[in-house]
Amino acid sequence: MKKSDSKKTGFILYPVIVLALVSMTIMQGCQVVTTAAKVGAMTGVITERQAAGIEKTAVATEKTQEEITPSQEYYIGRTVAAVITNKYKVYQQDRATQYINTMGQTLATVSDLPETFGGYHFLILDSDEINAFAAPGGLIFISRGLLRCCKTEDAAAAVLAHEIGHVAYRHGLNAIKKSRITSAITTGLLEAGKNLTNSQVAELTTVFEGSIQDITSTLINSGYSRAFETQADKGAVEILKRAGYNPQGLLDMLQTMEKHMKPGGLDFAKTHPAPKARIESINESFSSFPPVDESLKRQARFRRALAGI
């Protein structure tokens, strides 16, 4: 192969090589990718400038895997929450809001993440949609439509416990980290060819800031992966047991939801696995639970607090 042909081939394959090596960074670490880039330059598969760009991308990608600090998580969550409350009105009913917060704080206390930088906060969304959202840092939203699917306090507690599970397992941050890796790739591609101009810096800044939009899009439009939802359900069962609630409330809520949800809808049906699939997953992992006792005094406070919801 002629030298010119080698350069041409390297130019064509370079974006593919970058994506492959970034994947290697995530799985094997920066040092492996750096060595691979150097070998690629030595053999003529890529140029030295391209190799340098790959090394910078590897370093940037590895940094994205570092833990986000609790304070950063809090401010990210606040921004995400602002987007959600801009889309949905907050339900202005003090009795119901205080009730949901008291129950939510109790559940959070016995979760695997009992404290966050800014604390847990729970709000009811004034929407008939059947939905709930958990922003990073402990900002949790539940719609009036979903609360109507809860026939007992145990069921309402199950919804909140599920969302607390998302926060505890930092599922929201996982979505943000993916978008930050995209930014790292973009930076690497540009760095390999030339120095960044002011307009390119501005473009990259916009891409990075778009990570907030990425997570809100995940919450509102596409939803978490089935694996994340299953993990949050299993976490919810443990939280409910620790708090003295009957985990059957989660199954009761899912069964009621299945009856009310419209296939292809824009709410929970769009952002979560089918209730039937979630019920099967829970039943596979845990033994059956006794029926929820609806005669308990807490059922009276449940109906009183959410009257008219």
Q: What is the pLDDT of residue 60?
A: 54
**Which of 154, 150, 175, 162 is closest to 73 using CA atoms?**
175
Residue 293 and residue 274: Cα distance in Å, rounded?
Answer: 26
Both 51 and 157 in a single domain? no
> Are residues 35 and 90 both part of a single domain?
no
Measured between alpha carbons, how far is 202 from 206 in angstroms, rounded to an integer? 6
- As a whole number of angstroms, the distance between CA 148 and CA 126 comes to 12
* DSSP string covering 238-276: HHHHHHT--THHHHHHHHHHHHHPPTT-SSHHHHS--HH
Q: Is the per-residue pLDDT at 190 higher than 50? A: no
Same domain, 163 and 239: yes
Q: Which residues contact 295 (CB under 8 A, 6 or more apart)?
A: none
101 burial type by CB count under 10 A (0-12 exposed, 13-18 middle, 19+ buried): middle
Mean pLDDT of 22-44: 57
Q: Which pLDDT belongs to residue 212?
A: 60
Average pLDDT score over residue span 7-33: 45
Based on the fold, state whether residues 41 and 79 are members of the same structural domain: no
Write the pLDDT tens digit of every residue in 217-268: 666 655 677 888 889 999 999 999 999 999 999 999 988 888 876 665 555 5
| Alpha carbon distance 245, 243 (integer Å) | 6
- 247 with 100, same domain: the answer is yes
pLDDT at 45 over 60: yes
Looking at residue 295, what is its pLDDT?
A: 77
Same domain, 108 and 157: yes
Structural domain including 46 reads 1-66
Interaxial angle between packed helices 153-168 and 248-260, expressed in degrees from 0 to 180 and rounded to the nearest 10: 100
Q: Residues 122-132: pLDDT tens digits?
A: 999 999 988 89
Q: Is residue 47 located within the same domain as residue 144?
A: no
For residues 262 and 211, the model is more confident at 262
Which of 4-13, 145-154, 240-249, 293-302 is predicted with the least confidence, judged by mean pLDDT? 4-13
Average pLDDT across the chain, whole number:
76
pTM of the model: 0.68
Tokens of 59: 């370093």
- Of the three residues 12, 37, 66, the one that is the final residue of a domain is 66
Domain total in the chain: 2
Q: Given pLDDT bands bounded at 50, 70 and 90, which one contains residue 59? A: low
User: Do 153 and 147 meet the contact criterion of CB atoms below 8 Å apart?
Assistant: no
pLDDT surpasses 90 at 53? no
Domain shared by 48 and 159, yes or no: no
Q: Given 66, 92, 117, which residue is the final one in a domain? A: 66
Residue 189, Cβ density class (10 Å: 0-12 exposed, 13-18 middle, ≥19 buried): middle
- 64-116 tens-digit pLDDT: 445 578 887 888 888 889 889 999 999 999 999 999 999 999 999 999 999 99
> Which pLDDT score, from 0 to 100, does residue 26 have?
40
